[in-house]
Structure 1
Amino acid sequence: MDISAPKSAPAIARPRNALALCLALAAPGAALAQDAGAERAAAAPVLALMQRSTDAPQTAQKLLTAEGARPLDTREARLELVVDTTTSQIWNPGTSRYDTVELRSYKSPGTDPAIPFVAPTVVTAPGETVRVALKNDLEPEPDCAQPSLNTPHCFNSTNLHSHGLWVSPTGNSDNVLLTLRPGVAFEYEYNLPADHPAGTFWYHPHLHGSTALQVSSGMAGALLVRGQRLPSPTRNGDLDTLLRDASAEQPMPERLLMFQQVAYACRNGEGKIKTAADGRWICDPGDVGQIDNYEDQFGFGTWQKSGRYTSVNGVVLPTFSGLQAGRLERWRLLHAGVRDTVNLQLRELRSRASSPVGLAGDALETWVGKNCTGEVLSQFEVAADGLTHGQIIEKRENVLQPGYRSDVLVAFPRPGRYCVIDAAAPASASVTQAAEDRQLLGIAEVSGFAEQIGTRALIARQLGASAQRNMPADVQQRVLADLDNGLRLSAFVPHRDIPKDEVNGQQSLFFNITDDDQYQVDGNSYAPTQARDLVLGRTEEWTLTSKRGGHPFHIHVNPFQVVAIYDPKGNDVSQSGEASDPQYANLRGTWKDTLFVKQGYNVVIRTRYERYIGEYVLHCHILDHEDRGMMQNVRMLVPDGKGGGIPANAHH
């Protein structure tokens, strides 16, 4: 498989009849047109075409034996990714027409030509080695020097981060301190250990200075680790083995929903963003929208001002088809955007709904309030950030911050049409520190007959049947008892709880934005010669705070367990329900790799430093904050704390 093949012509998206969708919504009692539903369905991103050692035995490595060389299954998979510009179209509901866009994208064999900026989904398993042959075919930048390290720069240089994977951060593994300039090819190698958790992860660029611009351009893809390990009396298993359909013979139906916020703009002859009278960004026929400038395309309130829509799997205002009333599904939710909160809600749409075409801001919120009037459906979260919960968490509001993943079980109670909405996030839950508008994300079309059982009871019944059919005899009663005791999943949690008596160290961290616009961790903007030293084998408790603004904390390699989240009055809101704080409801004891830190709150987490040494980073996952300096290097040292290799002050 040759990643140096000549560039193909830019793919132009085929027309998609979004107007037909809106007209169908406006027709009293009308079902969505079949062609609109088919052409604008929220289809899953294409699967990555990966060459595996078992697919081509002749290419496998050889094991030398006394009888001669025999093929050895190396359990390897290889994927080609080429970073280049692609031309396609994005539907703009505000103007009721398509905008042509030119975006930096991952191209790979099998990329959807209609949505070339949506990266393919990588599917792997514990114990497999994933090789990603990345080639940077973006235009050269001979003059990409920046005024300072923390001024966004070099937008055509890149690298790759496997967000959430428990793999080495050094060498050609998950090394985000590498720089791949235009024209450079490099093969990443992710060696997933045999005990790696199964779950929902993702990948995206992570070069300091260009991360936000590239991710906002759509450079992101899901990375699913599927597991077949059954639990035993001495080892927990993979949740995949329990999430089976009603007959327990097939995996539960699932959907991957990747939320992206592509903040493209068209410019006039003076280089200014074109806007409508109300300030929304517009593109005239013949314009090409791009993401090319930090100064006016990123920052506080920019996304709301733009009037752009959050896309789902690359489609704006899609339909979600194939849903059946009373059928349980697993939805893998991935916030692959840069900065704005998504507060996912599901509500039944009233039968005689007007069209939302052209609405934004207060007008759109009025439309949602008038037409999305059904009771909010519960989402039952089984995992966050790819890590299975000890107990299923019921959510009516699913607040997703950039970098978050949420695996939820959903069931629609009766046939009809349902609103999939980004509900108005309150100021305290929003990365913008301001209340956000409600926005329609799409329409779910549900067929079949009414189901007379609630979703919680349906989950208990279906998972109970699956446990009776699939779980080994020596753990079956434990799994069934857990399900009867509040839908617990203790046999499937990938990491052991961290009790207080295991903790042998303390860390603290605070985010801040200064009055002179410096983005900082612990009072310092990012400097590659500075690092926080940690020691392999230790277990530490961290306290995270923010002096200004809210920031999603993300640390590479080692996930963490939530201990407590104290509001400014000292209340632990991680133990409370949604009525108190939907951002943090029922988070105590859960495992995550990304967690929102509100201004004035104290977030307490615990983590073990296991297996991997080397230098990596922690940062705010509002990616333009990271590019502007809200990041810090971490050096994991060998157990005596002295054998760190290259000292931090000599790095780079």
Structure 2
Amino acid sequence: MERIHSFSAAGTRLRLARTPLAAAAVACLFSAAPFALWAQDASKSAAAAKLAPRALEQPVLARMLRSQDLKPLLSQTPAGTKPLDTHEAKLDLRIAFTESKIWNPNSQRYDKVKLRSYQSPGTNPDVPFVAPTIVTSPGETVRVGLDNQLPPQPDCHPANINIPHCFNSTNLHSHGLWVSPTGNSDNVLLTLRPGVKFEYEYNLPADHPAGTFWYHPHLHGSTALQVSSGMAGALLVRGDRLPGSDRTGDVDTLLRDETGAAMPERLLMFQQVAYACRGTDGKIKTDSNGFWTCGENDIGQIDNYDDQFGFGVWQKSGRHTSINGTVLPTFNGLVAGRVERWRLLHAGVRDTVNLQLREVDAASASIAGLSGAALDNWVTQHCTGAPLKQFEVASDGLTHAKAIVKSENVLQPGYRSDALVVFPKAAKYCVLDAAAPASASITNAPEDRQLLGIAEVGGAAKVDDVEAFVTEKLVASAKQQMPENVRERVVAGLRDHLRLDDFVPHRTIDKGEINAKGQDVVFNIEDVVEDGKKRTVYMVDGKPYDPSAARDLILGNVEEWRLSSLVGGHPFHIHVNPFQIVSILDDKGKEVSVTGDVDGNGKLVDPQYANLQGTWKDTLFVKKGYHLLVRTRYERYIGEYVLHCHILDHEDQGMMQNVRVLVPDGKGGGISATSHH
């Protein structure tokens, strides 16, 4: 590895990953001038306060100490002693209540809020509810030191562990990383109570995929509340491994511009911060439209699952999905005719995001001062361009064998999508969460359209055929960057509708490789009456979460998993080992993993399953009545971890199950999950 590269952004000195590729790519995150995201001092005039929306800024990069920054270990060589680089990086995260402001378009002012958040060296004080972005590389050890400084909560353990509880206790999950689930690695069965300091250690193997991952709390009973407070950050693994005649490489080595530098990129983290202000009666305050509201002297908080989470609550709240901590941001620094890599990360708790980019009518007025119905009418009148194509090269951090061309990108909670984006000409564009059909959404009902921001694109270039343009840019990069012994093959693949076979991190699992009977996972929700009170029970395989029980798997086995849901749609997520999609059958038995859901006339009505067959993921939406078949290998790691629904309030209330991978004879046992409580 090369030495550490440093960049300065917004006045903060940042220590980045050590590969030249990582340094160049991360520099692109800071290509635009920095802006304050939500900070408008309360003393400023009402007119100044209406300057929102603010410009979009990238989340701050984690200020990490790496092994070369510390007193090095020494290695004795024939030429004498020399520093030994242990390839380690350390980030300290303090967890505490933070007071700040969030823009509320409905009231046209900033709401004061007090939320649990991660704080770290270099945290932008104006954007405290977006955790810093960790950048690492295969073969590096990442240490994250958590210091839980939230106030104590005595007697917070209910008799039923599937009732949300212990909101000030926490832990950490590295979502999507292929690392050990035990000890102080990606162990979500630990509880870190207030006052506890603990260091997680993620030893990324040298063959770890390069891609977009993320981290967030994962303590059963408080996960949704903490993630909804903004306790989430991106975790980027960058790779510089070129493909060879007998191995695949990192797509990072292909995604370069004509100078050989890493392609410009943007990280977009979608969050749904469900803060509310309460009256003296304890009920959430609402305005004349029924949307949640806060007075000038109120402080919004997240403190209750009963009325701040649940079916349809986000839509009724009137809150807006934020991007990188900003509500209704303006995207600056965009140039027509330039290919950019957009890393899309759904860090929300439960509601679907259906991302579209549409050109704005040239005669449109500013959205300043608009909200509610008026803002939606503006979208109807002015966001009239055809949706731009997005070329998804990876999902959940795992490169596709062929880029998936999308005009709308349906993101469920936990999803990540790496998409290549080209704006064909200079103009303004709407960044939309488009209305999702009932079958595509978490709520199993049509979800309203919402404007997420405005993209302002400059430059003189005009692109008529975006797909051909992207293809030629990647072909030019391949001719320049790829080794001679694979160059022709990579170029031929790109010309065949953007095939990326040389960059897929995992081998396809053929049916003949399967050596065990497989697994069935069934999500369900039932209403029960206990002590005269109605209560909703969230279940996997007919049972709510039981920390003393586990599904046993055997290291080295290769199995098929059959996923289904009896009530509602649920994003299935499993830790440690990703899976490959084999088939998706709709409720009538029709295969939809290639075409997506189409109606009787062949019209596409829900694109989210289109072209998924053969792709790798770690999170996958399971519609009611559908049957999904995936395959997975249990490789390298033993120990106990979890599978669950990534509607996080469902997980907190019981829609989770422990998984225990045993040594190959099946008799190795494991640490009991009872340590969780």
Query: Would you say same fold, with TM above 0.5?
Result: yes
Residue type at the aligned position of 1:429: A
Secondary structure of residue in 2 paired with 1:574: coil
Matched, 1:612 2:637: yes
Show CA shifts across 1:113-148 (max 9, x none): 101111000000000000001110101111312241
Residue type at the aligned position of 1:320: F
* Distance across 1 between alignment mates of 2:635 and 2:242: 24
Q: How does 1:399-410 map to 2 (within 5 A)?
A: 399-410=410-421
Residue type at the aligned position of 1:637: L
Residue type at the aligned position of 1:150: N
Aligned partner (choices 548, 554, 557) of residue 535 of structure 1: 554
Residue type at the aligned position of 1:641: G
Residue type at the aligned position of 2:613: R
Query: 2:238: which partner in 1?
Result: 226
* Distance across 2 between alignment mates of 1:629 and 1:358: 42
* Distance across 1 between alignment mates of 2:369 and 2:219: 37
Contiguous gaps of at least 5 residues in structure 1? 1-10, 24-34
Q: How does 1:266-415 map to 2 (within 5 A)?
A: 266-354=277-365, 356=367, 364-415=375-426
Query: 2:106: which partner in 1?
Result: 94
Aligned partner (choices 44, 47, 62) of residue 58 of structure 2: 44
* Distance across 2 between alignment mates of 1:462 and 1:18: 48
Do the aligned partners of 1:12 and 1:89 also contact (CA within 8 Å) in 2? no
Show CA shifts across 1:323-366 (max 9, x none): 11111100000000000000000000112224556766665443
Show CA shifts across 1:37-75 (max 9, x none): 8xx21111000000011233xx22233557765421100
1:271 CA displacement: 1.3
Q: 1:18 to 1:48 in 2, by over 3 A?
A: farther
* Distance across 2 between alignment mates of 1:524 and 1:619: 12
Matched, 1:519 2:533: no
Secondary structure of residue in 1 paired with 2:576: coil
Secondary structure of residue in 1 paired with 2:527: coil
* Distance across 1 between alignment mates of 2:49 and 2:191: 45
Secondary structure of residue in 2 paired with 1:514: strand
1:616 CA displacement: 0.2
Show CA shifts across 1:379-404 (max 9, x none): 01000000000000000110000000
TM-score (normalizing by structure 2): 0.90
* Distance across 1 between alignment mates of 2:486 and 2:641: 39
Aligned partner (choices 493, 502, 505) of residue 482 of structure 1: 493
Query: 1:463: which partner in 2?
Result: 474
Query: 2:189: which partner in 1?
Result: 177
Query: 1:261: which partner in 2?
Result: 272
Residue type at the aligned position of 1:592: K
Secondary structure of residue in 2 paired with 1:480: helix
Q: How does 1:78-157 map to 2 (within 5 A)?
A: 78-157=90-169
Matched, 1:598 2:612: no
Figure out how many residues of one structure are paired with residues of the other and give that number: 626
Query: 1:5: which partner in 2?
Result: none
1:154 CA displacement: 0.4
* Distance across 2 between alignment mates of 1:22 and 1:241: 44
Query: 1:504: which partner in 2?
Result: 515
Show CA shifts across 1:481-502 (max 9, x none): 1011111000000000001111
Aligned partner (choices 546, 549, 558) of residue 568 of structure 2: 549
Query: 1:76: which partner in 2?
Result: 88
Secondary structure of residue in 1 paired with 2:343: strand
Q: 1:646 to 1:187 in 2, by over 3 A?
A: closer
Matched, 1:159 2:178: no
Matched, 1:425 2:432: no
* Distance across 2 between alignment mates of 1:95 and 1:580: 35
Show CA shifts across 1:550-604 (max 9, x none): 0000000000000000001111111115725311011000000000000000011
TM-score (normalizing by structure 1): 0.93
Report the identity percentage: 68
User: What's the Cα RMSD here?
Assistant: 2.1
Secondary structure of residue in 1 paired with 2:548: coil
Q: 1:182 to 1:328 in 2, by over 3 A?
A: same
Q: 1:570 to 1:197 in 2, by over 3 A?
A: same
Secondary structure of residue in 1 paired with 2:68: coil
Query: 1:32: which partner in 2?
Result: none
Residue type at the aligned position of 2:186: D
Query: 2:458: which partner in 1?
Result: 447
Residue type at the aligned position of 1:111: T
Q: 1:640 to 1:166 in 2, by over 3 A?
A: same
Residue type at the aligned position of 2:506: H
Do the aligned partners of 1:414 and 1:449 also contact (CA within 8 Å) in 2? yes
Residue type at the aligned position of 1:88: S
* Distance across 2 between alignment mates of 1:328 and 1:68: 49
Query: 1:581: which partner in 2?
Result: 606
Q: How does 1:230-245 map to 2 (within 5 A)?
A: 230-245=242-257
